[in-house]
Amino acid sequence: MVEESPMVEFKDVTKIYSKSKQPAVEHISFKINKGEFCCLIGTSGSGKTTLMRMINRMNSVTKGQVLVNGKDVKKFNLVNLRRKIGYVIQNNGLMPHMTIRENIVLVPKLLKWPKEKLNEEAERLIKMAELPESYLDRYPAELSGGQQQRIGVVRALAADQNLILMDEPFGALDPITRESLQNLVQNLQMQLGKTIVFVTHDMDEALKLATKIVVLHDGKLIQVGSPEEILHHPANKFVESLIGEERLSEAKYETVKVKNVMTAPVKINLGASLNDALAMMKERHVDTLLVIDDDNHLKGYISIADLQRKYPHVSSVSDIMLPINATVGPEEYLRDNFSRILSRNGQYIPVVDAERKLIGVVTRASLVNVVYEKIWGEKKPATEELEKKAN
């Protein structure tokens, strides 16, 4: 099968504005596939807008190549390229002297569609914007900011553009209006399978909408990845700061697995003597031992209480062993087992793999660490440290 070319591809792209020596963006390479919702995120001045505007040639490319559907944007007829790409900017950019109807069908009109088709399209799109049809004959100034931006969004779909560029489209809206607009865009994108390039400086917005996030800083590409990847494996301190302390520790807590916090078990072989067991308890300062067979399979446990009671009469660990019901697997999420571990009478819960081989224990003490980090954040990356301990 021939691989489909990506909707947009940046190939080692650098942009230097005339009159400035510093490149606004440099050596940027990444791809945006069809149907992806790609958020460009970064602080102000990081080059998000510059990068986005090179796609429809609102900015020229200084070095490198920008490809749309596998074709260098320079090879397109400028006007045709732009008519094929939807364009939404922050302050909606509606024509104040045109009615909503005229605004919506502006691109189809430039493309010289017949008149009946224009009206049909206007009616179809105002429905999509979830606004009454009577608004078609109003002027932009007669609509609220959120309503205007709804028109701005659907206008970008009027000529059935498959690629839509949006530059902080909801930046100027209040949080509630912003959320409803985000939902609108998300629904449209999912229903219609459009490819969207969306500039934002709001990580919440990016995490909510994106299927791919591109992090920029000082004109350089820092990280490209899915929201999950960005959230759970931020490339560096800068990405972490974009995500924010709170969301970061939340995310970490969310994804801590049992294997990340388990510690080495104190265990004894089924065939060992009670003398050995007693000595091990004393040495390790524990009152129970997990019992395994020669292949490390978990068989049960023994406790100091039973040992004391039966000591002279029996001599082997297997004679006083009790069965264990509760175990967890190493790949299970800690958050799903939290209460189970805490509510158990014992101090710990054994971790066994698929073959019931004992690989560790989760103690109440290790839960304390996790909660501590979730609430107070952490100085060192928690999961990595714990992983080290576990291995």
Ligand X SMILES: Nc1ncnc2c1ncn2[C@@H]1O[C@H](COP(=O)(O)OP(=O)(O)O)[C@@H](O)[C@H]1O
Judged by the rule CB under 5 A, the positions of this chain that interact with Mg ion are: 49
Q: Which stretch binds another protein (CB under 8 A): 78-86, 228-236, 302-310, 328-336?
A: 78-86
Which residue type, as a one-letter code, is found at position 317? V
We find the least distance from the C-beta atom of residue 8 to ligand X, in angstroms, to be 17
Length of the chain: 391
Site for ligand X in 9-28 (CB under 6 A): 17, 20, 24
* Residue 45 binding ligand X, by CB under 6 A: yes
Dig out the tokens for 13 from the structure.
């792209």
Element (H, E) at 14: strand 8-15
Nearest C-alpha neighbor of 212 from the set 37, 82, 330, 88:
37
Provide the Cα torsion 51, 57, 62, 66; round to 10°.
70
User: According to CB under 6 A, which one of 1, 3, 21, 44 is a site residue for ligand X?
Assistant: 44
Residue closer to another protein by CB (options 173, 203) is 173
We find the least distance from the C-beta atom of residue 206 to Mg ion, in angstroms, to be 14
The answer to whether residues 348 and 361 touch, using CB atoms and an 8 Å cutoff, is yes
DSSP characters over 93-106: ---TTS-HHHHHTH
We find the least distance from the C-beta atom of residue 60 to ligand X, in angstroms, to be 11
The answer to whether residues 46 and 52 touch, using CB atoms and an 8 Å cutoff, is no
* Residue 17 binding another protein, by CB under 8 A: no
Residue closer to another protein by CB (options 18, 343) is 18
Q: Which stretch binds ligand X (CB under 6 A): 41-49, 151-159, 354-362, 383-391?
A: 41-49
Residue closer to ligand X by CB (options 54, 349) is 54
In the beta sheet, which residues pair with residue 25?
15
The torsion angles phi and psi of 159, rounded to 5 degrees, stand at -105, 30
User: According to CB under 8 A, which one of 5, 33, 62, 99 is a site residue for another protein?
Assistant: 99
SS3 85: strand
Site of interaction with another protein (CB under 8 A)? 56, 58, 79-84, 87, 89-99, 106-107, 110, 139-141, 165
Site of interaction with ligand X (CB under 6 A)? 17, 20, 24, 42, 44-50
